[in-house]
Amino acid sequence: MWKEDVIDLKLAKFFEISARALLSMLIISILVAILAGIVCVFYDLRLILLQEFHAAFKTILVDVLTVLAIVEVLRTALAYFSEGRVKVTYIIDTVMVTVLTEVMAFWYREMDWEKVAMVIALVLSLATVRIVAVRFSPKSAREEL
């Protein structure tokens, strides 16, 4: 029985080291993606002079919100790296930023009211889940004890 515990411990250690190495590579790739997104935003600033303001600002706004969504993914990866678990609130924040990016894009095209209603319901449900996740998080439960 003792031998099996040692094997399990070594396997767990191997998994932890492997996960940290892969996560480090993921974090580096996310940072490169953020840098590329920022470069893209600055490159798209030229559209202000080449296109009408409405179209140029739409492109820039979507680019900026996309970079912010990637920053939220980075926060999630860093939280896992430091705490060893993924916080639900970070995932919900990432999804909300992504959905709100799409909502901003809705302003620039015709949408059926059903689709708009579904997006509103999605945002409200995500906000509700986030509030519940913060209210009933394991950390707050430990503080109450």
Q: Give the pLDDT score at 25.
A: 92
Question: What is the per-residue DSSP string for 33-65?
Answer: HHHHHHHHHHHHTTHHHHS-HHHHHHHHHHHHH
Query: CA dihedral defined by 104, 105, 108, 113, rounded to 10 degrees?
Result: -80
Three-state secondary structure call for residue 99: helix
Taking only the tens of pLDDT, the chain with its 145 residues reads 566 677 778 888 888 888 888 888 988 999 999 999 999 999 988 888 888 888 888 888 888 888 888 888 888 888 877 777 777 777 888 788 777 777 776 666 677 778 778 888 888 888 888 888 778 776 655 554 4
Q: Which residues of 50-60 are buried (b: 16+ CB within 10 A; e: fewer)?
A: eeeeeebebbb
Q: Give the pLDDT score at 40.
A: 92
Q: Give the pLDDT score at 141.
A: 53
Separation between Cα atoms, residue 57 and residue 107, nearest integer Å: 12
Q: Give the pLDDT score at 114.
A: 82
Separation between Cα atoms, residue 134 and residue 130, nearest integer Å: 6
122: Cβ contacts below 8 Å, ≥ 6 apart: 99
Q: Give the pLDDT score at 37.
A: 93
Q: Give the pLDDT score at 31.
A: 93
